[in-house]
Structure formats: C-alpha cells, structure tokens
Structure 1
Amino acid sequence: MLKQLKLKYYVLLVSFINLLLYQYPFFKFVLTTSNTKSFNGIILLISLIIASIVLNAFVFYIGLYLLRNVGKWLLAIFFNISAIAVYFINTYGVIIDRSMIGNVFNTNYEESSSFLSLGLLLYILFLGLLPSFFLFKFEIIRPQLKSFLISTGLTLLFLGILVFANSSNWLWIDKNSKTLGGLVMPWSYVVNTSRYYNHINKKNKKQILLPNATIKNDEKSIAVLVIGESVRSSNFSLYGYDKNTNPLLSQIEGLKHFEAESCATYTTAGLQCILEHQNTGKLYEILPNYLYRNGVDVIWKTTNWGEPKVTIDNFQNKVMLRKNCDGPDCDYDGILLKGLKDEILASKKNKILIVLHTSTSHGPTYYKKYPKEFERFTPVCKSVELADCTQQELINAYDNTILYTDYLVASLIEDLKELTAYNTSMIYISDHGESLGEKGLYMHGIHSSLAPKEQLEIPFIAWTSEGSKTIKENQEHSQHNIFHSVLDFLAVDSPIYDEAMSIYK
C-alpha cells in the first residue's frame, strides 16, 4: 500500500534527493571558486543550498499540482537524465550548456556508443533507476486551490528575500553564471535544450545564396581541404612539440604551418566557420555549395558527421565509402584516399575542390582510431573513462592519432605531386582542439568564452605544388581564411572575395 504524503512535503523530499544526488558538481564549483572562508562566502554557500532545495521544490510543487501522476513520470525522466549528465560532468569535465546540448543532438550511434562503460551503467542504476522507483512509493495528497496559491505566493516572497540578501554576491554569480547554469540539475539540460532549439529555429531554414561567381581562367587546378577532428596544434612537432609526431610532414619542402584558433569547440560550429565566407550568424551558402553552383567540380568524402547541408552531387559518407573498399585502411581515415586520384582524373572540369572530413582524433577511444603499426607511443589509454588512465597513457594514445594524421596528409601530398597536369594545393585545418586532462577537462565542447587553449588552438597547414601559387608569410590565420583562399587558388572571381583573407600571394 502506498504511503500518503502531502504535496508540499513530497516535493521537499524530492528536492532534497535532487540536491544530494545531482548537485555535487555545482557545489564543487562553488567551493573551489568562491571564498567560503569569508562571511559573504559562507552566506553565498548557505543561500545556494537553501535556494536549490526551495526553488526546485517550488517548480516540482507547481508541476505535480498541475500534471498529477504524469509529473511523477517526468521527475523519473529528470532523475535518469541527471544521472547521465552528472556522469559526463564528473568523468569528462563537461558543462551542459547550449553548445553541449548541440553536441548531444548532433552525435550519431557510433560516437555515442563509444561512451558506454560500466561506470555509466552504475550511474544510471544507482542515481537514476533506483531513485526513480522511490518516487512511486508515495500517494500525493494535493492541496486545495486556496492553499496552493498561498504556498506559491509565500515561496516566491521567500526566494525574493533570499536573492536580495545576497546582493553582495551578485557580481560573483553574474561572472560565473554560464558555468553555474551548465551544472545545476535538471535545469542545465532543460533550459539549454530549449535555448538550442530556439537558436536552430531562428536560423534561416533556406540557405541564402551568395552573389554569382565566374571562373577567370582554364588552368587545371585542384584545391584539397582536409578537415581534422579534435586536433590541437600543441601535439604537433611542427609546432614545437617535443615528441616527433610529424616525421613525414616535417620532411616536405614548401610546407607551411601557422598559428590559428577555432571559433568554437564543437564540430558543427567549427565546420560552419571553416566553410562560410564570414561570421554573420546567418545561413549563407557554404563553400562547397557555392563553388558547385558556379561550375567547380566538388568531391566531399567523410568518415565524420556534423556537416552543414552539402548540396553537391558527389557526397560520400562512411557507409558509401566502405561499400567498395578493400584492405586495412577501410576501418580508418585512410579510406578517404582510396581511389581519390582516379576520381580526379575522371573529372571533366578544370577546377576541382576536394574536401576530406576526417575523424582520427575524436575521443574517447583514441586507441581505436589508427592502425596498430602507428601505436609507437606506449602505453596507451584503453578506457572510455579517461580519468582512470594516467595522463601520459591518454596523451600517448592521442599522439598516435596525430602520427597517423601525419601519414595521411603526407600521403595525400605525395599523391597530388603525381598530378603534374594540375596546379595543386592542400590545406589542413581542424574543427577545434581537445583537452587531455588539463585542469580536469577532457575532450571538448566547453563554451568558447570559457574554453582552455587546448580546445581552441588548432593546426593550420598549407602546401602548394611547384609552379602554382605561393603562400604568404607571417599572416594571422583563422578558420575564415579557408573560403577566400580556395576561391583564390581556383581563380574564382566573386563580389564577396576578400583578397586580404587569402593565404596565397
């Protein structure tokens, strides 16, 4: 038989459970960033604990009064999602902001399944399913409408007093609002899911066409854009890293590398920055669509995901690539180079853009992203719970992905050298960087305003064939250089072309 409990006591109990099970990351951040030894710091901590219990109870009170038993099921869903969210916060140091929600909704089965672990299942069992079962052990006694309104009004008055009592802490709260909002459960994912879809809906549903372009000459030219995944420049020996992760690229004459930062720390936004002509916040035509519409042959090959809508004829995803692939490279990014020269030679156009979207350095299973012969830095981390590995094991696994990237890009350049009938150029740039345990952070996805340099500093590498365009020296580079550089190399004349943004002389 179910125990009867008044609604106000039920929601206080549920709110206390929510505080106990899911607010540890929130209060850990408060304790480490505020001065809890001062009087104001003590008041802040006590006020946040009280506010957490009362505010959550207030929202649960209204929800359960209006939704009745449906509200219990909604709370059960919250408990299980909160358990998963807390696991990822504790394990990878993520913050559940709008960007992270975008990562969640834009991931695919292959990526999401790589996070499955015993630890995650234990979080779901003990912090999700068992507390959810407890919710249904009580029969709620709902108050009369008059009592409900009085309780609601008094709670709002109390919360208002609590806010003004902390006026001396408003500046600290405002300064850390993004992080606090990304750690408080369940509102971090509830509010930011709403923000994410609101952001999506505000975007133009149809791409805005850019001004028409013309091709200035008939010279045969190939521009190859290689988009790296989760690659940070600090682990490239080209950028001064003490381990030789670029044994092949370092031997290529005329290869240039530049300092650059990504405009975001997650794939969809990073790709948008690479492919758009400037940062407008609007849905303008991206590079492959624009060139294809204006007479350039465009080939897009990807083992990844998260691309904006690419409207070309020759778009090949991982499934398509694997259908006709044979050999060990088919399980890795080497598949992107299979048959590429034959496709180029079969083209009937003089101007060709090739985009290779890789996935080599995406975590957490770095050790699975390269063939065994590239495992030169050992021992390597083989756990998806990255904090369980030593940082050196984690870095070794990641460095092996960079070693494999070095091989892929160098192999591509050697293939391009054989196409002597064409002027050829290769640009390698990453969508964003990666954290490998620095400051307790792993992988990527922290909002760019809060992100560490490891998630922002990316490699920007360029090469051109002998006799074609040369590359400028000492130029500041960003992901937005790509659009204008490709137009320049392929001799595409456009009203939106910005010569200062091209990397070529």
Structure 2
Amino acid sequence: MLKKEIKITHFVLLLSLINFIFFHYPFYVFVFNNLNYNSISGVFVIISLIILMIILNAFVFYLFFNLSKYFGKFILILFFILNALAVYFVNTYSVIIDKSMIGNVFNTNYEESSSYFSFKLILYLLFLGVLPSIYVTKAKIIKVTFKKFMITSSLTLLFVLLLVFANASNWLWIDKNSKQLGGLAMPWSYTVNTISYFNSKHKKNKKEILLPNATIKDNKKSIFVLVIGESARSENFSLYGYKKETNPLLSKTSNLHHFNATSCTTYTTGSLKCILEHQDTGDLYEILPNYLHRNDVEVIWKSTNWGEPPLHIKNFKNKSALKESCKGEICDYDGILLEGLKEQIELSTNNKILVVLHTSTSHGPTYNKKYPPQFEVFKPVCKSVELSNCSQEELINAYDNTIVYTDYLLHQVIENLKALPSYESAMFFVSDHGESLGEKNLYMHGLPMSIAPKEQYEIPFIVWMSNPSKQLKPSSNLTQHHVFHSVLRFLSVESPIYNEEMNIFMK
C-alpha cells in the first residue's frame, strides 16, 4: 500500500477513520453513558456524531494537504503523536482535556511531569503515534485540481450543515455536554483549548491591579503561617472521621479546630489564585503576599510545588533554592520547608509576619515517593504511576501515608510556633483541591467543577492558634476565600477591601 499512490480524498478519509478508531473510545463511552441509546433519537445522535467526527476531521486534513503536502504531513504526524499522549492520560487518569487541564500541562514542571512516565505510555506513543506517522511520512498522495477541491469542499460543508440541522432537536443535549464532548474529541480538545488558554492569558491584566493601601493597627508581635496543601482531601483525615488513624499528632493537639471546606477549582493554579485573592474575580488583583509585603508585613514564602501567581516579595524560595542549603534525607521531601524557618523568624525585625509553605505532599501519581520511609504506616502501597493497575487497598494506603506525613509536618509547624512565645501565632492548613482515588473509575484531579466528584473539591481547613482564649466563628462550611480576610484580621491589618463576613476569627 505504501508503494502505490493514493488519492487525497481516500487518504484523508483513511487517516480520519484511523484517528476515530484509535482515539475516540473515551468520547463514545461518555456519549453512551449520558444518552439514551435505546431510543431512536439517541441512536440518531450517536450515528450522527460518528459521521460528523470522521467527515469533519477528513475535511480539515483535506484543507491542510491542499495548502501544502509537507505542511499536511507535518500537522498529521504532530496530531497523531499528541493524540497518543492525550488519550493515554484520558484512559489512565480519566481526565478531560479542557482549558484548565491545558493550563495544568503548561504549568507542570519537569519533576512532576516525569512522574507520569511509564512503559504503557511508551506503547501508546509507539503504536498509536509513531506507526501511523510512518505511514503518513511514506504515503504518495495524488492531489486534485482547484476546481475539484472547491466542489469537494462545498459538497462536504453542505452535507455537514444538513446533518447538523437534522439534529436540531438534539442541540440542547449537545450544548449541555459540549465541554465534555469537546474535551474528548481528538485532536480538537487540546488544539482549541490551547488557543483558548493562551488567549485568556493574553487578555489577563499584564500588571496586577493594586488594592487600596492598608495600615497596621498595632505593634503586637504576630505570626501567621499559611500551609497550602496539595491534593489533600478531607475524607482521608481522621480529624474528619476517617476510620484509619491518619492524624495521630494533630488529634492530640490543643487549640486545634477543623472545618468542612470546599475548593474553588480542582486544579492548582486556579485554587491558588482563589486562596490568595480578596474576592472571586476573573481579573488579576494584587494577591495576599504581595499586598501585605507592600504594606510593611514581612512575607516568607517557601515552596516545593508550582503554580503560584506572580509573587513580588523578597523572601521567596522554591525547591531548588531550598536544596542548596539542605543536607540529608529531608531534602527530598516537604520537610525541607521547615528547615531554618524558626531561625529565619527569630532574625526578623518586623512585628507582623506571614509565612506561606506551599507543599506537594499528596500529589499523584507517585504517592509512595512523597513521604520518608518511616511514614509508610499503611501497607502494601501502590508503586505504579498507572494507578488503575494497583488494587484499591494499595492505592489508598499510599495516599493515606501522605496524609500521615502531612500530619507530622503540620505538627512540626505548630511546635516551631510554640517555641516563639514572644509572638501570638496562628496556622491555617488549606488544601488546593482534593483527589480521586479510583472512585467511579476516576483518578487524581482536574475535572471541571460542573462534573467533578466531591473527592476532588471537599478539602481540609485546619486552624491552630497559640492563644487558647481566642475564639473562632461557628461555621458549617468554609471556602478558600476565607483565607485572605482572616489573615488581615489576625495580623491587625486594616484595609478598605476587608470583608468581615469572610473572616473566621471572633472580634
């Protein structure tokens, strides 16, 4: 077949059919799960979607090849390679390739992305990406005249329009599920959403909008430590009623409180913005650390994670910077965030201090590598990045061990603060989002909030205070937006944008 010439129309139809067979199983699983395929209307929608998928992809490929044979081959090879990668993650982790997921891709660092590497991924790339690409490279394509191109294009578009209008009665269902359908259609899920992601970035304020100036009302020495968790879901904290003892230290800590809470999103960048902004807005307003730093509060930020909005502070250290002055096993885990922290606070000449510790403790898929060996309390554990290959017990054990390590880290933060009696101190632990651990065959996080299960957005919100007489407002459910205003209140920062309703401390 490679030695023979092939007409361009036959070639693009063949490639579109291969694209359909190789990469659209998740698409049609979603369709069958959300449509009554026993009805005539349902059957008609399914058949129409199959025909549209094949014809429209073939038509776009047809346009590419008529622009240039070499351009067409390059684009198709790129599509097959990227399709193979995309469908691997869709099949393995049940993700949907929407704009937020594209944001996660472009904000993922090398260390995190390398944790997804597996033999299965190589097989996907070889059989679904490389092999079709070899055929595309070697194919001898017969192009058509401009007149025939115009006739074929016109008839194709007419057919598509007729099929679309024939489904007029089903537009409501298609519109309702458009985000999920679009996120599973290859290669347009990542193509359209990549364009949308960068378009959104371009439209965002190039410079953050400054908040009104604030004033510090007293000279009392105060420290607030905000620990931002990663992928920690409240369901697996024994503080929240989990049957396994994952909080052996915090459960014995006095002046500790925990609240039910929900995250704004199911991905890190969106939730970080939510935690650090003064209200829910699509604009880039001055975030908490920048605002406090500009208004004479000392801000210390240490991170083993990523995804922070732009920070304009002096004391920022990421994982690589922290490792430069670290020795021993602790350097490979989130315990590195606590190294030298107490001493750094003692050297401060400022009465008001905000410390932000951005952890990565419960981020998958390599849960078993997120804690030191002595914290492997629950066994056996999942050691594969292909989470569906592990038993439910192994997967949950590995994840629960990350919660045990989180318990230890928070306990150490509290002990450090207790060792600074000249300061009144408080600690918040708020996770960026939750995590799916195989429930409903879903793994990790990142699903759109409209369809995300509770495991991906029900998060812990844990509060500790050094002053036992300080009271908290009763609350049944908090959000990440409570952080900004509670920090202002605790540090006695007076601001025109302060919202008493979003503060959890009593007057």
Give the TM interval when normalised to the shorter protein: over 0.9
Q: Equivalences for 1:309-348 in 2 at 5 Å?
A: 309-348=310-349
Q: Equivalences for 1:479-490 in 2 at 5 Å?
A: 479-490=480-491
Give 1:134's aligned residue.
Answer: 135
1:79-128: CA deviation from partner (whole Å, max 9, x where unpaired): 00000111111100000000110000000000000000000000000000
1:169 positional shift: 2.1
Give 2:176's aligned residue.
Answer: 175
Rounded to whole Å, the distance in 2 between the matches of 1:109 and 1:468 is: 46
Rounded to whole Å, the distance in 2 between the matches of 1:57 and 1:467 is: 69
Whether the 8 Å CA contact 2:260–2:476 is kept in 1: the answer is no
1:362 positional shift: 0.3
Greater displacement, 329-338 / 424-433: 329-338
Q: Equivalences for 1:136-175 in 2 at 5 Å?
A: 136-175=137-176
1:405-461: CA deviation from partner (whole Å, max 9, x where unpaired): 001101111111121100000000001110101111110111112211111100001
Give 1:378's aligned residue.
Answer: 379
Whether the 8 Å CA contact 2:215–2:295 is kept in 1: the answer is yes
Q: Equivalences for 1:2-401 in 2 at 5 Å?
A: 2-401=3-402
Rounded to whole Å, the distance in 1 between the matches of 2:368 and 2:277 is: 33
Unpaired segments ≥5 residues, structure 2: none
1:60 positional shift: 0.8
SS in 1 for 2:152: helix
Greater displacement, 190-199 / 41-50: 41-50
Rounded to whole Å, the distance in 2 between the matches of 1:322 and 1:128 is: 38
Whether the 8 Å CA contact 1:469–1:489 is kept in 2: the answer is no
SS in 1 for 2:184: coil
- Counterpart amino acid of residue 424 in structure 1: S
1:377-418: CA deviation from partner (whole Å, max 9, x where unpaired): 111000000000011110110000000000110111111112
Rounded to whole Å, the distance in 2 between the matches of 1:468 and 1:275 is: 27
Whether the 8 Å CA contact 1:26–1:183 is kept in 2: the answer is yes
Rounded to whole Å, the distance in 2 between the matches of 1:347 and 1:495 is: 28
Greater displacement, 57-66 / 167-176: 167-176
Rounded to whole Å, the distance in 2 between the matches of 1:224 and 1:475 is: 23
Whether the 8 Å CA contact 2:52–2:160 is kept in 1: the answer is yes
1:475 positional shift: 5.2
1:9 positional shift: 1.2
Rounded to whole Å, the distance in 1 between the matches of 2:161 and 2:500 is: 56
Rounded to whole Å, the distance in 2 between the matches of 1:465 and 1:473 is: 19
1:5-32: CA deviation from partner (whole Å, max 9, x where unpaired): 2211111111111111111111121122
Unpaired segments ≥5 residues, structure 1: none
- Counterpart amino acid of residue 91 in structure 1: T
- Counterpart amino acid of residue 388 in structure 2: A
| TM-score of the superposed pair, with normalisation by structure 1 | 0.98
SS in 2 for 1:395: helix
| TM-score of the superposed pair, with normalisation by structure 2 | 0.98
Whether the 8 Å CA contact 1:101–1:196 is kept in 2: the answer is yes
Rounded to whole Å, the distance in 1 between the matches of 2:452 and 2:247 is: 26
SS in 1 for 2:299: strand
SS in 2 for 1:40: helix
Greater displacement, 14-23 / 320-329: 320-329
RMSD over aligned Cα, in angstroms? 1.1
Greater displacement, 462-471 / 384-393: 462-471
SS in 2 for 1:136: helix
SS in 2 for 1:298: strand
- Counterpart amino acid of residue 213 in structure 2: N
1:467 positional shift: 5.7
1:213-270: CA deviation from partner (whole Å, max 9, x where unpaired): 1110000000000000011110011111111111111111121111111001111111
Whether the 8 Å CA contact 1:464–1:470 is kept in 2: the answer is no
1:47 positional shift: 1.2
Give 1:502's aligned residue.
Answer: 503
Whether the 8 Å CA contact 1:266–1:431 is kept in 2: the answer is yes
Rounded to whole Å, the distance in 1 between the matches of 2:450 and 2:23 is: 25
Rounded to whole Å, the distance in 1 between the matches of 2:182 and 2:93 is: 17
Rounded to whole Å, the distance in 2 between the matches of 1:133 and 1:11 is: 15
- Counterpart amino acid of residue 201 in structure 2: I
1:472 positional shift: 1.7
Q: Equivalences for 1:366-445 in 2 at 5 Å?
A: 366-445=367-446
1:40-59: CA deviation from partner (whole Å, max 9, x where unpaired): 12111111111111111111
SS in 2 for 1:225: strand
1:322-351: CA deviation from partner (whole Å, max 9, x where unpaired): 111123211111111111110000001000
SS in 2 for 1:426: strand
SS in 1 for 2:420: coil
Rounded to whole Å, the distance in 2 between the matches of 1:285 and 1:106 is: 20
Rounded to whole Å, the distance in 2 between the matches of 1:32 and 1:227 is: 36
Greater displacement, 282-291 / 40-49: 40-49
1:38 positional shift: 1.5
Whether the 8 Å CA contact 2:236–2:246 is kept in 1: the answer is yes
Rounded to whole Å, the distance in 2 between the matches of 1:95 and 1:36 is: 22
Whether the 8 Å CA contact 1:423–1:468 is kept in 2: the answer is no
Rounded to whole Å, the distance in 1 between the matches of 2:324 and 2:362 is: 23
Whether the 8 Å CA contact 2:64–2:71 is kept in 1: the answer is no
Rounded to whole Å, the distance in 2 between the matches of 1:397 and 1:384 is: 12
- Counterpart amino acid of residue 144 in structure 2: P
- Counterpart amino acid of residue 133 in structure 1: I
1:52-82: CA deviation from partner (whole Å, max 9, x where unpaired): 1111111111111113211111100100000
- Counterpart amino acid of residue 27 in structure 2: F
Give 2:477's aligned residue.
Answer: 476
- The runs of 4+ residues in structure 1 deviating greater than 4 Å are none
Whether the 8 Å CA contact 2:387–2:395 is kept in 1: the answer is yes
- Counterpart amino acid of residue 445 in structure 1: G
Equivalent residue pairs, number:
505
Rounded to whole Å, the distance in 2 between the matches of 1:439 and 1:387 is: 12
Q: Equivalences for 1:449-460 in 2 at 5 Å?
A: 449-460=450-461
Rounded to whole Å, the distance in 2 between the matches of 1:164 and 1:392 is: 50
